[in-house]
Amino acid sequence: MAELAADRGEWFRETDHEKRLCLWNQLNEEEREATGRYHWEIWGRSDQLPPPGDWRVWLVCAGRGFGKTRAGAEWVRHIARMDGTARIALVGASLAEARAIMVEGESGVLAAAPGAYTPIFEPSLRRLQWENGAQAFLFSAAEPESLRGPQHSHAWRSGTR
């Protein structure tokens, strides 16, 4: 995803204004809305996209306003969309922070998910459920023992304390 997405994004950003405007004018209103909000492959900066290749840890260490939360949410959305068997751990400093920032925040998973791919959030179960079967579960870094037992294929840890 990262290599292709970076290529698309770079192409779009480097294309002159007239060509972009011509492409934009060919889209209907619904397509413009979807493109404008949800095509992270186009709008995300290359340093916000996952690294290419097979990796185990992707660390984004940056200041406020960089887009770390959006990058993480988009990565989770991509994993869930591509793998219906995915079980993703969403680990925040606290459960309240995981919910408020990683899930329901302005750059969280729900905000990053277009209508057709929006997961169902079940707060009482601390779970996001996608239509294809992928799931994400909220955990608190303050309770590391809670991560013992459940099996996860992926994890996103946000924030430090």
- Give, in order, the Cα–Cα distances in Å from 88 to each of 8, 10, 130, 133, 155: 27, 29, 11, 12, 5
pLDDT tens digits for the chain (161 residues)?
444 444 556 677 678 888 878 888 888 887 777 666 667 777 788 889 898 888 899 999 999 999 999 999 999 999 999 999 999 999 999 999 999 999 999 999 999 886 768 999 999 999 999 999 999 999 999 998 998 888 999 999 998 65
In this structure, what token pair is assigned to residue 103? 């899930």
**Predicted local distance difference test score (pLDDT) of residue 2:** 46
Q: For residues 42 and 9, give the distance between their C-alpha atoms in angstroms, rounded to a whole number.
A: 4
The torsion angles phi and psi of 157, rounded to 5 degrees, stand at -110, 125
